[in-house]
Amino acid sequence: MSPSGQPPRASNDSESGLVGALTDEHRFRMLVDAVIDYAIYMLDPSGRVVSWNTGAERFNGYTAREVIGRHFSCFYTPEDRLAGVPARALETAAREGKFEAEGWRVRKDGSRYWAHVVIDPIRGPTGALVGYAKVTRDLSERQAAAKTLLQSQEELRLLVQSVTDYAIYMLDAAGRVSNWNAGAQRIKGYRPEEIVGRHFSCFYTEEDRARGEPQRALETATRHGRYEKEGWRVRKDGTRFWASVVIDPIRAPDGTLLGFAKVTRDITERRDAQVQLERTRDTLFRVQKMEAIGRLTGGVAHDFNNLLTAVIGSLELLRKRVGDDARASTLIDNALQAAHRGATLTQRMLAFARGQELRPEPVDIPTLVRGMTELLQHTLGSIVSVETRFPLSLGQVLADPNQLEMSLLNLAVNARDAMPKGGPLTIAAREETVHEVVDAAGVKPGRYVLLSVIDRGEGMDEDTLRRATEPFFTTKGVGKGTGLGLSTVHGMAEQLGGQLTLASEPGAGTTATLWLPILEKHRPLPPVGRGNPLAEPERLLPLSILAVDDDPQVLVNTAAMLEDLGHRVTSVNSARQALAKLSEGEAFDLVITDHAMPTMTGAQLVEEIAQRWRDLPVLLATAFAELPRGVASNVPRIAKPYLQNQLAHAVAAVMPAWGRVHAPATSGEA
């Protein structure tokens, strides 16, 4: 008996241990059943299900009553069962102590899910196999995500491979090509097997590699997170293209540099278009600048010619009146020489402005050059040897032979000056046809004779070459040139419908080429009243002449010269006044009018006279050659400044064309 009188409790320790053991088993079952993300259940040695947890029911759809006692192969696909996968899984677990795999499994409703399976053998104290523990996890979402990722990667690969306008590829951390797309193959010419593994510096020019540009590109991308630049790159065949390049570093999540993503685009066409646009802009600017300078130069030359007309005419008349005063005659002659030099200068200015008087006629270039041989040799000196190269057949050109000779001589003198120690000078000609306005010379389509003067002298740098035809630009010392030589030749060529082109490099000499239109159909221009100033003009019966000029000095001078020739002159200073005089009914034998006048020009006056007084001859005096098309363009002209004899010749040339009778020539003054 116990002290309390209660009978003692037998096996108290054993009972407490049993209660504890049952409690642990209960707790374990509760733990397994609480797991819903894993199917945890047992199989007997033959593979039949002997336990089933909540996770297994959720994954497979079977309740414990429906599945316990069934073979676990019911969870496999028919294909796996046919292939013996369930039995092989148990054999592997029993033999190796574990089986682990992923694959498709089948739910009660027949749907499939992707499962991760682990099977462990369960053995008794003696090592005998008593069953298997099977843990399954539904990885369908992860599998779907992996499939989506794989599909996305494949789509990205196809996208990159399908791009042909961009070279998109990767480099490893050292700069070696690790993949290659179709655009890279098209742009650079390498097949993947030819380029993968090679260093990307093979795409750079030798100059860029020597400067370390490839390595600098990778360093910049690594340091700043991006590298972007344009430059020349080299294709497999050695040709170059202008590329836009972007390099981005590729890093692991921890920041480790894995390599580089490189995107290259061939923008050669865009660059060429941009360069052409800039050239066109430069050309347009140059044309506009030269046009503005030409207008200014032509205007200055026009006004200066008016002044020279008054000066030269007055000096000539004054010389007749000084008699035997030798000193006065000397001073007048000196002033006349200076005035003539001024007239020559204005002619050069007008030539640049395409406003000089030209008398185009058919010219055979070889004949013209042969006729200049003695003049060229005398002008150039013995240190320069002249050689000519002409084809057997060469078309004639439409040009003013005198102006063409002066232009050729001007080019030859420039060539001589570029060869201070002497050397060969070649004058050559050939034919060329221009089909488009964009041809190298920039001339209009047509057939041309290219007359070239070639030297082996000092040559010109790019800046000098660009400015060579600008008026008053010269590389010669002060007092050794006016700077109008090449601009005069340039103006003459353009006035004839051609062009002057220059090709030169420092130390390699210069080639100056005149593009002259080949004569197709020649229509002679009307005679121009220049005349030979040394020849005695024909004497005419006294004429009644109406003189028109808005410059009072020129008007007084012209009237004085005509009156000195024996003619009666009525002077008016505008075209409107001239029309008023003619309308009054006064009879005039000839009208001499200036062209450049305000309100109404001389050309407009000529057209008005042609309509109202058709039998009245007109002589148009102008200091500028460009006249509007129409009646005035076919009227005889005299260019300012003119001498008295030239004026007399012009008047004599006009009057026979209108049926006037000449008086017998006499030796005295009119």
What band does 663 get if pLDDT is binned at 50, 70 and 90? Answer: very low
**High-pLDDT (> 70) share of the chain, %:** 73
Q: Are 258 and 251 in contact (CB under 8 A)?
A: yes
Contact residues for 242 (Cβ-Cβ < 8 A; gap 6+): 230, 231, 232, 233, 266, 267, 268, 271, 272
Tokens found for residue 481: 């040139």
- Give the position of tokens 């789509």: 155
Domains of the chain, by residue range, sit at 26-139, 163-266, 279-350, 361-517, 544-658
At 190-238, the pLDDT tens digits run 999 999 999 999 999 999 999 999 999 999 999 999 999 999 999 999 9
Tokens found for residue 536: 């005695």
**High-pLDDT (> 90) share of the chain, %:** 33
2-23 burial: b if 16+ Cβ within 10 Å, else e: eeeeeeeeeeeeeeeeeeeeee
| CATH code, residues 26-139 | 3.30.450.20
Reported as type and span, the H/E element at residue 37 is none
Q: Are strands 618-622 and 590-594 parallel, antiparallel or unpaired?
A: parallel
CA gap 272, 266 in Å, rounded: 12
Predicted pLDDT at 108: 93
DSSP string, 502-515: EEE-TTS-EEEEEE
- CATH level 3 topology of 544-658: Rossmann fold (3.40.50)
Tokens found for residue 132: 């298997």
Side chain identity, residue 220: T
CA gap 355, 291 in Å, rounded: 12
- CATH level 3 topology of 361-517: Heat Shock Protein 90 (3.30.565)
Reported as type and span, the H/E element at residue 670 is none
At 535-544, the pLDDT tens digits run 555 666 789 9
Mean pLDDT across 588-595: 92
The answer regarding whether domain 163-266 maps to CATH 3.30.450.20 reads yes
Predicted pLDDT at 264: 92
Most confident of 68-82, 545-559, 652-666: 68-82
Residue 506 dihedral angles phi and psi, to the nearest 5°: -55, 125
Q: Are 589 and 618 in contact (CB under 8 A)?
A: no
Residue 337 dihedral angles phi and psi, to the nearest 5°: -60, -45
Predicted pLDDT at 475: 53
Cis-peptide into 424, omega within 30 deg:
no
Q: Do domains 26-139 and 163-266 have the same CATH topology?
A: yes
Is the pLDDT at 620 greater than 60? The verdict is: yes
Q: Are strands 544-548 and 590-594 parallel, antiparallel or unpaired?
A: parallel
Mean pLDDT of the chain: 79
Q: Are 97 and 120 in contact (CB under 8 A)?
A: yes
CA gap 216, 209 in Å, rounded: 10
Tokens found for residue 465: 């070459």
Predicted pLDDT at 10: 42
